[in-house]
Amino acid sequence: MAMQETFESVRADIERRLRDGVENRNSAMHTPVVATGNADARIMVLRDFDAQNWTLRFHTDVRAPKVPEIEADPRVGVLAYDRGAKLQLRGRGSGRIERNGPVADAAWEESTNFARRCYLGEGPGARSDKPTSGLPEWIEGEEPSETQVQPARENFAVLIVHIDEIDWFYLSNDGHRRAVLTRTGKGRWIAP
């Protein structure tokens, strides 16, 4: 990757990488770490990036522990490292869970019945006496029909993360580079 030496080019690089994270499943930005205020972190699939508002969209089960956590404390960190590009992106912002409304509805509509099936079973974190997928037996390994998958909708929500700033860190033998860009402001160079 060519060294980025202006805030404009860093911003363009960040936005291009996040867009690629949505569209390209092999991109490092496709599966970032999403951290919450309780020092917990987990991998989530990046579903959408809105460059205008610097928002990220993720999908989640409303019964997952991260949901009440984010509702109580909206601070969210998003972290990814692209090994090939030698680039770390570290975002900070606030998260909002939307169970209903146009964004959650559209995300559900776009999902395949296979993807929707994940929301049919036990909630993430539910205890089990034996190793389990959490899914009811009748649907293991099967694609559910539209009707069968309907009850799963109430367990589905979107997590919208409104990014306040992104720390862009590029590793290079010629000297690392690091910039912090805010959503609206200019940016600042800092020592790596």
Task: Catalog residues that contact ligand FMN under the rule CB under 6 A.
Answer: 31, 40, 42-45, 58-60, 64-66, 124-125
Secondary structure class of 75 (helix, strand, coil): strand
Parallel/antiparallel/unpaired status of strands 33-36 and 41-43: antiparallel
Name which of 119 and 170 has its Cβ closer to ligand FMN: 119
**Between 4 and 60, CB nearer to ligand FMN:** 60
Q: Output 56 or 89, the one with its CB closest to ligand FMN.
A: 56
CB of 51 to ligand FMN, least distance (A): 21
Q: Taking Cα atoms as reference points, which of 186, 190, 147, 151 lies closest to residue 169? A: 190
- Minimum distance between the CB of residue 158 and ligand FMN, rounded to whole angstroms? 10
CB 187 within 8 Å of CB 7: yes
d(C-alpha 115, C-alpha 10), whole Å: 34
Q: Supply the DSSP symbol for 118.
A: T
Shortest Å distance, C-beta 182 to ligand FMN: 26
Nearest residue (CB) to ligand FMN, 45 versus 135? 45
**Nearest approach, Cβ of 74 to ligand FMN (angstroms)?**
15
Backbone angles phi, psi at 19, to 5 degrees: -65, -45
CA dist., res. 14 & res. 12, Å (int): 6
